[in-house]
Chains A and B, each alone.
Chain A
């Protein structure tokens, strides 16, 4: 894979603002877990518009790169990117089918998630199937840092390591919040990097809102014998300065009067 060009970096940055704006529009009609969407949306943009080989033509194939949004409540971010990648249509994005968690009938949703702590084990299953059948494709799973409260995630870390799933990329969307408060106040993860390294897993850290940094780190990934764990430092509600990195506005109701104002101040 080639390094992303400067012009493409600019395009992705523009798309990032446009897609955030569309997620706010979605929120105006249906409400959303806006805070969770805006912390991982840049990573999803990078994955679908650059890294993963998923497009309108191959989306129905079962042997392509695959993506699982384990923190399923960020689904509007996934839907918005699928729309941008021409995999789903605008009408569908604003329809009742695209509710708050990924719906299995929608093209590009590789697995229905929502209950936290499930997605990584599904991804391990995908990766194992590819490994056994020698299918040379990536499996990417995004988990939330709050989701790390679930013991099943840690089970899957162990299994992925033991099975040498080098085709598996686990991205932790580390926005330092879970539903109602900071992760450190609810269930402190401590030194996350150290914890994961103690599982004998490779850890890569990056800025989850910098396409340049994301690209620099992804360029170095190889399908060797090691699953990759990426800690993406992100911010809840990134791009809306008034509510960014604050515990409020994890969930935003469709009647929220400030939504138009959020849209205007997007950066």
Chain B
């Protein structure tokens, strides 16, 4: 069992915990079938059912491919979860630009713009499964939570984040150029900076996995010593974290040079690995070395 499965398997002994899926087990492969309520490929009903269970006092962990979970079932999410504040954890698999060869019909690179403006919803893009479980252990079901499931596990990152864990924090570096990122992008940049003492002096990398925690205070803290800001994310530009940051900076009259790289700014890129994709989008060691913001 992977970390998330172990976590779920452990808490599912409680009869108030419900594990639901719309026939997607990417995050649940080792969970015994009898512990999973599979509704079949019925994402709308999946959310409706979870809302009903939540209303009665149950805590639901709801799984499907990101695109279908978020977009197909959006009206159900908005009315039955968010508006009525029935809290559930939604776990979207294969979100972001890594959709292998499934193509654009299966790609979900707009979750922040779709869910990020809901009132009773948090949007969380963890660095790894390790971070996901750390976060869930503190989660209290007061708001709904969308997680872009990220099955990667990076031992180096684990060491960095496990001490006094909080979702939005510095990962590496001491430079005056601030990089804000999340999920697989943050991990990839961490790997690049980790191997280069020059880049560690040039940049400070912050993980911003809990997107909806963005406010004046959180961004001011990150920009305290920074003079320039680079936001790297796999999300459409419209409604993305970088766009939200720009609005926040403008509204609060915070003046800083900002560059955003929205790697998922097209529906589909048929590259298989993160390294290939980063090269394709020009996010390399050389790019970071030569970048003049």
Per-residue B-contact encoding for A109-153, CB less than 8 Å = 1, 0 else: 011101101101111111111101100000000000000000110
- Tier of interface size on chain B: 20 to 34
Inter-chain contact B53/A128, CB cutoff 8 Å: yes
Inter-chain contact B37/A122, CB cutoff 8 Å: no
Inter-chain contact B45/A133, CB cutoff 8 Å: no
Chain B, 98-148, CB within 8 A of any chain A CB: none
A121–B50 Cα distance when bound, in Å, is: 9
- Residues of chain A with a CB closer than 8 A to B40's CB: 155, 158-159
- Tell me the smallest distance from the CB of B289 to a CB of chain A, in Å: 53
- Of B16, B37, B55, B76, which contacts A118 at CB under 8 A? B76
- Residues of chain A with a CB closer than 8 A to B50's CB: 125
A114–B80 Cα distance when bound, in Å, is: 11
- Of B42, B56, B79, which contacts A125 at CB under 8 A? B56
| Residue ID in chain A nearest B58 by CB atoms | A129
Q: Is B224 an interface residue (CB 8 A)?
A: no
Inter-chain contact A115/B49, CB cutoff 8 Å: no
- Of B42, B55, B75, which contacts A126 at CB under 8 A? B55
A152–B43 Cα distance when bound, in Å, is: 9
| Residue ID in chain B nearest A63 by CB atoms | B56
- Residues of chain A with a CB closer than 8 A to B52's CB: 111, 121-129
Q: Is A104 an interface residue (CB 8 A)?
A: yes
Per-residue A-contact encoding for B181-209, CB less than 8 Å = 1, 0 else: 00000000000000000000000000000
Q: Is B21 an interface residue (CB 8 A)?
A: no
Inter-chain contact B58/A122, CB cutoff 8 Å: no
- Residues of chain B with a CB closer than 8 A to A178's CB: none
A111–B49 Cα distance when bound, in Å, is: 12
Q: Tell me whether A125 and B49 are in contact in the complex, defined as CB-CB below 8 angstroms, given that A62-B56, A115-B75 are known contacts.
A: yes
Inter-chain contact A129/B53, CB cutoff 8 Å: yes
A182–B99 Cα distance when bound, in Å, is: 45
Inter-chain contact A118/B48, CB cutoff 8 Å: yes
- Tell me the smallest distance from the CB of B32 to a CB of chain A, in Å: 15
Q: Is A32 an interface residue (CB 8 A)?
A: no
Inter-chain contact A121/B45, CB cutoff 8 Å: yes
- Tell me the smallest distance from the CB of A94 to a CB of chain B, in Å: 25
Inter-chain contact A124/B15, CB cutoff 8 Å: no
- Residues of chain A with a CB closer than 8 A to B55's CB: 110-111, 122, 125-126
Q: Is A156 an interface residue (CB 8 A)?
A: yes
Q: Tell me whether A125 and B83 are in contact in the complex, defined as CB-CB below 8 angstroms, given that A158-B40, A159-B40 are known contacts.
A: no
A41–B96 Cα distance when bound, in Å, is: 49
- Residues of chain A with a CB closer than 8 A to B49's CB: 121-122, 124-125, 128, 156, 159
Chain B, 31-87, CB within 8 A of any chain A CB: 37, 39-40, 42, 44-45, 47-58, 75-76, 79-80, 83-84
A126–B55 Cα distance when bound, in Å, is: 8
Inter-chain contact B57/A62, CB cutoff 8 Å: yes
- Residues of chain A with a CB closer than 8 A to B53's CB: 125-126, 128-129
Count chain A CB atoms within 10 A of each CB in B18, B48, B54 and give the residue with the most: B48
- Of A114, A115, A126, which contacts B56 at CB under 8 A? A126
Could you list 14 A-B pairs, sorted by A, with CB under 8 Å? A111-B55, A112-B79, A121-B44, A121-B76, A122-B49, A122-B55, A126-B55, A128-B49, A129-B52, A129-B53, A132-B15, A156-B45, A158-B40, A159-B49
**What 7 pairs across the A-B complex have the smallest Cβ distances?**
A125-B52, A121-B48, A155-B42, A125-B49, A122-B52, A129-B56, A121-B45
Chain B interface (Cβ < 8 Å from any Cβ of A)? 15-16, 18, 37, 39-40, 42, 44-45, 47-58, 75-76, 79-80, 83-84
